[in-house]
Each structure stands twice: as structure tokens, then as C-alpha cells.
Amino acid sequence: MATSLGLGHEACYAAYPAPASSYFFSSPELVADSGAVMEFPPAAAMADCYFPGITGARAPDYYYSPVPVFANGGAAAAENEMVNMSYVDDDGRRMMVSGSAGNGGRRPSQRIGFRTRSEVDVLDDGFKWRKYGKKAVKSSPNPRNYYRCSAEGCGVKKRVERDRDDERYVVTTYDGVHNHAAPGGDALLAPPRGAQDVLRPVCSAPWSAPTAPCDAWGTQLHAVAAGHSSESSY
DNA sequence: CGTATTTGACCAGCGC
DNA sequence: GCGCTGGTCAAATACG
């Protein structure tokens, strides 16, 4: 997990607090319909917080967040305001996404999702998960699987489903934060291979968060970003 | 035999 | 109030 990189998960979560709902976007740039361009840390950066084991093998192509702050470049949108945004997909096409801040009335405190190109549904993220449910959802032709962290006292949950628009992608949504280290996480991450400054995390995160320790993140994340293959497409 | 997964039932929140 | 939907529970089942 992230701790293997020298940054504790608590600090990690503090640096990149998970926004809360469901807008896909391509890192590091998201364009609101207002025309404002908002920048985000690389998906690999967020992934290292919430997906500590996976960055050594495959970083997510996109991550998404629900936060209405995206709507107008910083200010929160109205609760039910529909916002439209776009991102550039694998083929260089600009894809539009839209949604509202609502989440069926439920308001997760810490939620973040990743869209990862993968043939397997369940990605090894360094944590041990126990499946507790499967549900067909109306918004997608693919079933959604529900997992809960197996660690005692850890209430983190995740949902896994195939992208409705492109089944090559797996959408994994994490809900909550781990209060423990990933079992065997250290062994999962390939050691940094001398890569520095390949990617520059954006420190002026648009969501209302404490200032991210950019320098630390930069160093840590660059190593991660360069440590895995370049198959991911951002 | 212990543990993980499957799956139908149940529950809660929201919109109409 | 009712129906719809997403999320969770828990008994049954599968697997190592």
C-alpha cells in the first residue's frame, strides 16, 4: 500500500480526500460545460491511496468523483443541479458525461471510484475483500458486486461493475477509508525504479481539501506512475 | 470442516 | 402512501 512508499494511508487520505458521488473524468484534465478546465492529480496518485496494491501492476485509466465542485470550477453546484463535463478517452475522443450531485439520497462521506481497463472483474488492490452482495442495477446492463473489507473493524466497502459503455473497463468504487495497512501490501508494490518527475501531481485540488503535500506526493507518485507499465491510457 | 460465495429476501430513501 | 431502486442481510451452497 501507500505506506510502502513512505506515506501513511491516513496522510494519503488527508492529501487526497475522496470526493463523494459519480462523475467520471479523465485525469488530469476535466472540462466543465462552462468551459472551465479543471486539473486533477493523476489517476495513479489517487489510486495509490485507495488502490495501493494495484498501482504496481496497472493503474486505473480514469477515476471519478461526485463532487459538485466540478460544475463551475470550484464552487459547489446546487444539490440537484445537473452538470455536464467531458474527458478525452483512449481514442482521443472527447466524451461527455453528466449527472447530478444526488446519490439516491445516500451521502457517502468518503467515496472514490476508478475506471480501469481490465479483463478480470476483481482487481487485486492489496486488501482482502469479502463479497456480500450482487445486484442488477437499472443504470447498467452489468451486475454490480458488493465487497466489504475483511479486516476486523474496517468498514470499507467497494462496488465493482463493468462499465456500461465499454465492458473492457471495470469501475471500482471505494466507500470509506481503511483504518489499517494492507495485508502484504508492501510486497505487492514493485519498488520504484529510479523514475522521477515523470508526472507532476496538481496541488491545487479543486475539491475543498487541506493542501496536499505536493512535494511528497510528487516524489512518491512519480515513482509509482513510472513503476507500472504504460498500458494505462492517460 | 472452515471459509468464501451466491442469491433471494428484506429494508431504507427518494420521487411521484 | 406507494412503487422503484440501490444496498444489505443471511441461509444455502460451493470450494479448498
Going by C-alpha positions, the residue among A166, A5, A146 that lies closest to residue A93 is: A166
CA dist., res. A10 & res. A4, Å (int): 13
Contact, A133 CB vs strand B, < 7 Å: yes
Protein-contacted positions of strand C (CB under 7 Å): 4-10
Distance, Å, A53 CA → B3 C1':
23
What pTM was computed for the model?
0.56
Contact residues for A150 (Cβ-Cβ < 8 A; gap 6+):
A127, A128, A129, A130
Q: Which residue is nearest to nucleotide C4 (CA to C1')?
A: A138
* pLDDT given at position A68: 30
Going by C-alpha positions, the residue among A91, A75, A69 that lies closest to residue A23 is: A69
- Tell me which DSSP letter residue A105 carries: T
Nucleotide nearest to A146 (CA to C1'): C7
CA dist., res. A113 & res. A125, Å (int): 13
Contact, A80 CB vs strand B, < 7 Å: yes
Contact, A6 CB vs strand B, < 7 Å: no
The top-level CATH class assigned to A110-180 is mainly beta
- CB distance A143 to A136 below 8 Å: yes
Domain ranges of chain A: 110-180
Nucleotide nearest to A150 (CA to C1'): B4
* pLDDT given at position A123: 66
Distance, Å, A150 CA → C13 C1':
21
CA dist., res. A23 & res. A3, Å (int): 28
Contact, A104 CB vs strand B, < 7 Å: yes
Contact, A155 CB vs strand B, < 7 Å: no
Residues in chain A with pLDDT values less than 50: 1-7, 18-41, 54-61, 65-109, 185-234
Contact, A132 CB vs strand B, < 7 Å: yes
* pLDDT given at position A124: 67
User: Beta-carbon neighbour count of residue A184 at 10 Å?
Assistant: 12
